[in-house]
Amino acid sequence: MIRLDRKPVARSVDSMLSSSSVFQTMLQEVIKVIGDYSENNDIFYDDPLSADTQLIADLGLTSVDFVSIFQKCQSLSPDRLSFIELVMPVEGQYVSDLSIGELSEYIIKQSASIGPTSTKSYAGSQGQQPKDVEDSKYKRSPFSSIQFEEFKSLIQTPTFSADNTIDTSYKLVFILSSPRSGSTLLQRMLDQHPEIESPEELHLLHYDTYAQRQRALSHAETKHLLGGTVRLRAKVNGISLEDSARLEGELVEGETPVISFFKEIEDNFSKEYLVDKTPSYAYSRHTLERITAQFPDAKFIYLVRHPSAVVKSLVDSQLQEIIPFARRYTGDTSAIPEMIWALCHENIQSVLKDIDNSRIHYLNYEDLVTSPDKSMDELLSFLGLPFYASCANPYSAEQSMQIETNEFAGDLKFFLENRIVDNRADIWRSFPALHSLSEISVGLMGNIPGYEVQQ
């Protein structure tokens, strides 16, 4: 999820461009996209759509709607566009609103800058240089062990009625990471392989039954997380989304254990691997212990991103505002993003220490974005699969990007880009407030093979 900032970032439409026939043609195309999207998603408005229509103030759209509309606007350009500079013209600060005219102008200008070969890219997709955003946005105090224990005590301990091991004809891979570590990028890269089914987040194994899961995730901010199983069931079993949703409703009503999902799709599963990428699993050591106990043959990808980069991303996205235990913390809230990183990695490391190393692959986000071919070649080798070039470029023209992102369970920021941006790995270094870390985080970094401990 991305969050639009409350503080405005000024934008304006080029007056000369807005009077041109090219602009007017594009404007009508964008108005049609937004009009169709609004109709299909029960978004109502009084005045006719125009260049001056504001997407938030006038239409009440959310950041999820923004990304969905941007995805549909890709068809208006011959090459895939990056929209990151449109929504984040200043590094670390999202815009407060956009007009339809601004979106239309942006598509025209970026289509022209990319050109027919798709080898050029505008400055924003290279990773914006920090401009005016205040470094104080990221300032925080190092957290103590006492604070960390208090934070961890807020996490509810799940209970599971079934402890039987699950044996499937396909192989399971779990991506373990903190949130904002690039797991959606990795999920999309893995999904390009013909022998890997790598869907959006499933959000299954925190819960005992479908009914328990439904109660926990049915709130407005999290209900989209229920859709991953509906869409994967429909895809694998060759049924409609409506039938899949109906079946899921029956599973909820029947208090069916969520663990049954993995057997439910088995008969029609045609690929070698299924990937479960749900970063929130790492919030709970008990959930991770359940996974390792009930899936004794599963493999694990331990994905790591520098804690300072994760802190920046958590602050930018305001993700902590929808994490229940984080909202219950009454101490120094500036420490929450780093404590989330530390919590996840402490749990992951405590569980993986008892797993045979042949079942674990360590992967750094920094390597993934700077050397995607090498990183994916090594990862696929770990899985015993041949390398496919498309796995290193999930944005290539051959890949279908028309995912219904307004229901997607994962990091929507992936869909704002048109390529893997390598210098996102170190953009946090431009903000001095992000340079210091708590001793607990430094200690956890030291436990990760091949990860250099530095601040």
Tens of pLDDT, residues 63-91: 778 888 998 998 898 888 899 899 888 88
- How far apart CA 352 and CA 303 sit, in angstroms, is 13
Higher pLDDT, 373 or 157: 373
For residue 361, count other CB atoms closer than 10 A to its CB. 19
| Mean residue pLDDT across the chain | 87
Tokens (6 digits) for 19: 């009077």
User: Among 110, 83, 106, which Cα is nearest to 2's?
Assistant: 83
> Do the Cβ atoms of 101 and 10 come closer than 8 Å?
no
- Residue 423: pLDDT band (50, 70, 90) is confident
Neighbours of 114 (CB within 10 A): 21
The residue-averaged pLDDT of 282-303 equals 97
d(CA 335, CA 144) in angstroms, rounded, equals 10
Q: Where does the pLDDT of residue 422 fall: very low under 50, low under 70, confident under 90, or very high at 90 and above?
A: confident
Q: Is 157 exposed, middle or buried (0-12, 13-18, 19+ CB in 10 A)?
A: exposed
pLDDT value for 14: 60
Of the candidate ranges 36-50, 191-205, 408-422, the one whose mean pLDDT is the lowest: 408-422
What is the pTM (predicted TM-score) of this model? Answer: 0.87
Distance, CA of 83 to CA of 241 (rounded, Å): 29
pLDDT (0 to 100) of residue 130:
44
